[in-house]
Amino acid sequence: MPATNLRSARAQIRAGLGWLTMRQSSDALGPHLGIYADSLILPGIRLQVIPEADGTGDGKHSSLCFTKKGTDFTPAERSTVIELVGSVVTVLRTWDSLSHGFSLSIDRKPGASLLAALNRYRNGCPEHKSVFCSSHGCDWWQTGHGKLKTPAGWWH
Protein backbone atom coordinates (compact mmCIF):
# COMPACT_ATOMS: atom_id res chain seq x y z
CA MET A 1 0.00 0.00 0.00
CA PRO A 2 1.49 3.39 -0.97
CA ALA A 3 2.59 5.67 1.89
CA THR A 4 -0.10 8.28 1.07
CA ASN A 5 -2.83 5.63 1.34
CA LEU A 6 -1.36 4.34 4.61
CA ARG A 7 -1.43 7.85 6.11
CA SER A 8 -5.02 8.37 4.97
CA ALA A 9 -6.13 4.98 6.29
CA ARG A 10 -4.41 5.57 9.65
CA ALA A 11 -6.00 9.02 9.91
CA GLN A 12 -9.42 7.48 9.23
CA ILE A 13 -8.91 4.83 11.93
CA ARG A 14 -7.74 7.51 14.39
CA ALA A 15 -10.84 9.60 13.60
CA GLY A 16 -13.11 6.63 14.27
CA LEU A 17 -11.29 5.86 17.52
CA GLY A 18 -11.55 9.53 18.46
CA TRP A 19 -15.34 9.18 18.36
CA LEU A 20 -15.16 6.86 21.35
CA THR A 21 -14.00 9.77 23.53
CA MET A 22 -15.64 12.65 21.65
CA ARG A 23 -17.73 14.76 24.03
CA GLN A 24 -21.44 14.16 23.39
CA SER A 25 -24.29 16.42 24.45
CA SER A 26 -26.46 15.43 27.40
CA ASP A 27 -29.41 14.61 25.11
CA ALA A 28 -27.58 12.76 22.32
CA LEU A 29 -28.43 9.13 21.64
CA GLY A 30 -25.59 6.72 20.95
CA PRO A 31 -26.25 3.92 18.48
CA HIS A 32 -25.31 0.55 19.97
CA LEU A 33 -24.08 -0.55 16.54
CA GLY A 34 -21.61 2.32 16.42
CA ILE A 35 -20.59 4.42 13.45
CA TYR A 36 -19.55 3.55 9.89
CA ALA A 37 -17.23 4.75 7.14
CA ASP A 38 -16.21 3.41 3.77
CA SER A 39 -12.70 2.24 4.57
CA LEU A 40 -9.67 3.83 2.97
CA ILE A 41 -7.64 0.69 3.69
CA LEU A 42 -8.86 -1.38 0.75
CA PRO A 43 -11.58 -0.70 -1.84
CA GLY A 44 -15.05 -2.07 -1.08
CA ILE A 45 -14.55 -2.42 2.66
CA ARG A 46 -16.76 -0.84 5.31
CA LEU A 47 -15.25 0.08 8.67
CA GLN A 48 -17.41 0.13 11.80
CA VAL A 49 -16.48 1.34 15.30
CA ILE A 50 -18.59 -0.33 17.98
CA PRO A 51 -18.29 0.82 21.58
CA GLU A 52 -18.28 -1.79 24.35
CA ALA A 53 -18.49 -4.75 21.99
CA ASP A 54 -15.49 -7.00 21.85
CA GLY A 55 -17.00 -10.45 21.72
CA THR A 56 -16.38 -11.08 25.41
CA GLY A 57 -19.23 -9.03 26.81
CA ASP A 58 -17.00 -7.46 29.46
CA GLY A 59 -17.76 -3.92 28.27
CA LYS A 60 -14.15 -2.87 28.79
CA HIS A 61 -13.10 -2.70 25.18
CA SER A 62 -14.46 -1.69 21.81
CA SER A 63 -14.30 -3.26 18.37
CA LEU A 64 -13.41 -2.31 14.86
CA CYS A 65 -15.40 -4.37 12.39
CA PHE A 66 -14.57 -4.77 8.74
CA THR A 67 -16.97 -6.06 6.10
CA LYS A 68 -16.44 -6.57 2.41
CA LYS A 69 -19.42 -6.40 0.11
CA GLY A 70 -20.38 -9.78 -1.34
CA THR A 71 -17.15 -11.66 -0.73
CA ASP A 72 -14.82 -12.82 2.02
CA PHE A 73 -11.44 -11.29 2.80
CA THR A 74 -8.41 -13.01 1.36
CA PRO A 75 -5.76 -13.95 3.93
CA ALA A 76 -3.53 -11.16 2.52
CA GLU A 77 -6.30 -8.55 2.86
CA ARG A 78 -7.06 -9.65 6.40
CA SER A 79 -3.37 -9.44 7.34
CA THR A 80 -3.11 -5.96 5.80
CA VAL A 81 -6.08 -4.72 7.84
CA ILE A 82 -4.83 -6.25 11.11
CA GLU A 83 -1.31 -4.89 10.60
CA LEU A 84 -2.57 -1.41 9.79
CA VAL A 85 -4.96 -1.25 12.76
CA GLY A 86 -2.19 -2.59 15.01
CA SER A 87 -0.03 0.36 13.99
CA VAL A 88 -2.66 2.72 15.45
CA VAL A 89 -4.16 0.92 18.47
CA THR A 90 -3.49 -2.24 20.47
CA VAL A 91 -5.37 -5.19 18.99
CA LEU A 92 -6.38 -7.59 21.74
CA ARG A 93 -7.80 -10.33 19.53
CA THR A 94 -9.56 -11.04 16.27
CA TRP A 95 -12.89 -12.77 15.92
CA ASP A 96 -15.21 -13.71 13.12
CA SER A 97 -18.37 -11.79 13.77
CA LEU A 98 -19.98 -11.06 10.46
CA SER A 99 -20.76 -12.58 7.10
CA HIS A 100 -17.95 -11.44 4.80
CA GLY A 101 -16.09 -9.79 7.64
CA PHE A 102 -14.29 -9.94 10.94
CA SER A 103 -13.76 -7.85 14.05
CA LEU A 104 -10.80 -6.70 16.05
CA SER A 105 -11.13 -6.21 19.79
CA ILE A 106 -9.16 -3.09 20.64
CA ASP A 107 -7.84 -1.63 23.85
CA ARG A 108 -10.11 1.41 23.87
CA LYS A 109 -12.98 2.10 26.25
CA PRO A 110 -15.66 4.64 25.34
CA GLY A 111 -15.70 7.94 27.22
CA ALA A 112 -18.31 8.84 29.83
CA SER A 113 -20.45 11.04 27.57
CA LEU A 114 -20.67 8.36 24.86
CA LEU A 115 -21.54 5.74 27.46
CA ALA A 116 -24.29 8.04 28.73
CA ALA A 117 -25.60 8.48 25.16
CA LEU A 118 -25.57 4.70 24.67
CA ASN A 119 -27.46 4.20 27.92
CA ARG A 120 -30.09 6.78 26.94
CA TYR A 121 -30.63 4.84 23.73
CA ARG A 122 -30.73 1.48 25.54
CA ASN A 123 -33.29 2.83 28.02
CA GLY A 124 -35.61 3.55 25.10
CA CYS A 125 -38.01 6.26 24.15
CA PRO A 126 -39.78 7.67 27.21
CA GLU A 127 -43.04 7.95 25.27
CA HIS A 128 -43.02 4.67 23.35
CA LYS A 129 -41.03 2.59 25.88
CA SER A 130 -38.91 1.15 23.08
CA VAL A 131 -35.58 1.58 21.32
CA PHE A 132 -37.37 0.76 18.06
CA CYS A 133 -38.79 4.24 17.43
CA SER A 134 -36.28 4.31 14.59
CA SER A 135 -38.70 2.44 12.35
CA HIS A 136 -40.80 5.60 12.14
CA GLY A 137 -38.35 8.02 13.70
CA CYS A 138 -40.30 9.69 16.48
CA ASP A 139 -39.16 13.14 17.64
CA TRP A 140 -37.15 11.68 20.55
CA TRP A 141 -35.25 9.32 18.23
CA GLN A 142 -34.65 11.88 15.47
CA THR A 143 -33.56 14.64 17.84
CA GLY A 144 -31.29 12.44 19.94
CA HIS A 145 -29.57 10.80 16.98
CA GLY A 146 -29.29 14.17 15.27
CA LYS A 147 -27.29 15.47 18.23
CA LEU A 148 -24.75 12.64 18.17
CA LYS A 149 -21.38 14.00 17.07
CA THR A 150 -19.32 11.91 14.67
CA PRO A 151 -16.06 12.54 12.83
CA ALA A 152 -16.28 13.90 9.29
CA GLY A 153 -17.00 11.14 6.78
CA TRP A 154 -18.59 8.83 9.35
CA TRP A 155 -22.30 8.09 9.79
CA HIS A 156 -24.62 6.13 12.07
* E strand or H helix at 47: strand 45-50
Minimum mean pLDDT range among 11-20, 46-55, 70-79: 46-55
Strands 101-106 and 35-38: unpaired
Q: What is the pLDDT of residue 59?
A: 60
Sign of the C-alpha dihedral, residues 63, 86, 95, 108? negative
pLDDT band, residue 102 (cuts 50/70/90): confident
For the chain, the farthest-separated pair of C-alpha atoms sits apart, in whole angstroms, at 52
Look at residue 19 and tell me whether its pLDDT is greater than 90. yes
Q: What is the pLDDT of residue 28?
A: 95
Look at residue 98 and tell me whether its pLDDT is greater than 80. no
Cβ neighbours of 46 (radius 10 Å): 16
Cβ neighbours of 152 (radius 10 Å): 6
- How many whole angstroms separate alpha carbon 143 and alpha carbon 148? 9
Give the mean pLDDT of 21-45: 88
- How many whole angstroms separate alpha carbon 2 and alpha carbon 134? 41
pLDDT, the chain, mean: 84
Angle subtended by helix axes 139-146 and 112-123, to nearest 10: 170
